[in-house]
Amino acid sequence: MWFYTRFGWEVSWVILGIATLMISVPLHHCGLRSPLRDLDAPKRTASIDWPELQGKARKCGMLWMVVSFLFSGCLIGAVMTLWVTNVQDLGHSAALAAIAGAVIGPFKTVGRFLEMVLSRNMYPMVIYILAIELMLAGFVTLLVVGFTIPGIMLAATLYGMGDGIKTIARGTLPLTPFGQRGYGARLGWISFPSMA
């Protein structure tokens, strides 16, 4: 904000870009310099070996995962874009709408913490479904409790927790049915339709 008030937005973007190049790029270079692990080497630590999809089921699973991520991403984008406007349209003040929107962010962090604590031995699909159910519970809360202050705050809390868990589950879920090999490229193909 200081850069913006002092130099304007154009210069601020240039300063932040240069800072990224001078700070982030060297840190990534130093951190990622170590040799790559051989995926065929035996694992040193015991881990849960979830079965991978094979053949036609693998292609079908990839398609449905892309479709799921695409539609849930559109839903999340729509909710976050329209949240403040919709709360105001329901007759609440702009301040309450902003506060209700601000509740979502901290509860994303709470959701990520719960995911870290609870998901050690849980099948990743269960975690992903839990995230979607929490987000849905936020909408159901609005229908049951109503568009009152407690209803809006509780809905924002549940939705935020679900969104936080979903962010983590979205990255780990493709490992379960498809395995580690080609993971980066697979994430790229999964995220391409959503970004488009």
Looking at the structure, do residues 17 and 98 belong to the same domain, yes or no?
no
Distance CA 150, CA 142 (A): 9
Looking at the structure, do residues 76 and 151 belong to the same domain, yes or no?
yes
Q: Would you state the pLDDT for residue 46?
A: 43
Q: Would you state the pLDDT for residue 38?
A: 56
Backbone angles phi, psi at 150, to 5 degrees: -60, -40
- Per-residue pLDDT tens digits for 1-18: 677 788 888 888 888 889
Looking at the structure, do residues 148 and 100 belong to the same domain, yes or no?
yes
Looking at the structure, do residues 22 and 81 belong to the same domain, yes or no?
no
- Residue 70 within any structural domain of the chain: yes
On the question of pLDDT at 185 being above 90, the answer is no
- Residue 97 within any structural domain of the chain: yes
Looking at the structure, do residues 76 and 17 belong to the same domain, yes or no?
no
Distance CA 145, CA 76 (A): 21
Write the DSSP string, 57-120: HHHHHHHHHHHHHHHHHHHHHHHHHHHHHHHHHTT--HHHHHHHHHHHHHHHHHHHHHHHHH-S
Distance CA 185, CA 20 (A): 24
Looking at the structure, do residues 60 and 22 belong to the same domain, yes or no?
no
- Residue 120 within any structural domain of the chain: yes
Are 165 and 127 in contact by the 8 Å Cβ rule? The answer is yes
On the question of pLDDT at 149 being above 60, the answer is yes
Residue 47's nearest CA partner among 116, 124, 115, 120 is: 120
Looking at the structure, do residues 66 and 9 belong to the same domain, yes or no?
no
90: containing domain:
55-195
Looking at the structure, do residues 20 and 77 belong to the same domain, yes or no?
no
Q: Counting every residue, how long is the chain?
A: 196
Q: Would you state the pLDDT for residue 158?
A: 93
Distance CA 82, CA 104 (A): 13
Are 131 and 111 in contact by the 8 Å Cβ rule? The answer is yes
- Residue 35 within any structural domain of the chain: no
Q: Would you state the pLDDT for residue 107?
A: 92
- Residue 36 within any structural domain of the chain: no
Residue 133's nearest CA partner among 168, 167, 98, 158 is: 158
Domain count for the chain, please give it. Answer: 2
Q: Would you state the pLDDT for residue 157?
A: 93
DSSP structure class, residue 44: S
Backbone angles phi, psi at 81, to 5 degrees: -70, -40
Average pLDDT, the chain: 81
Q: Which two tokens stand for residue 43?
A: 């694992």
Q: Would you state the pLDDT for residue 34?
A: 62
- Per-residue pLDDT tens digits for 61-103: 888 888 888 887 787 778 778 878 888 887 888 888 888 888 8
- Residue 48 within any structural domain of the chain: no
- Residue 150 within any structural domain of the chain: yes
Looking at the structure, do residues 18 and 61 belong to the same domain, yes or no?
no
- Per-residue pLDDT tens digits for 104-137: 889 999 998 888 887 777 778 888 889 889 988 9
Looking at the structure, do residues 9 and 106 belong to the same domain, yes or no?
no
- Residue 142 within any structural domain of the chain: yes
Q: Would you state the pLDDT for residue 43?
A: 53
Are 157 and 141 in contact by the 8 Å Cβ rule? The answer is no
Looking at the structure, do residues 73 and 163 belong to the same domain, yes or no?
yes
Residue 172's nearest CA partner among 135, 104, 97, 122 is: 122
- Per-residue pLDDT tens digits for 31-58: 766 665 555 555 544 455 666 778 888 8
Looking at the structure, do residues 119 and 188 belong to the same domain, yes or no?
yes
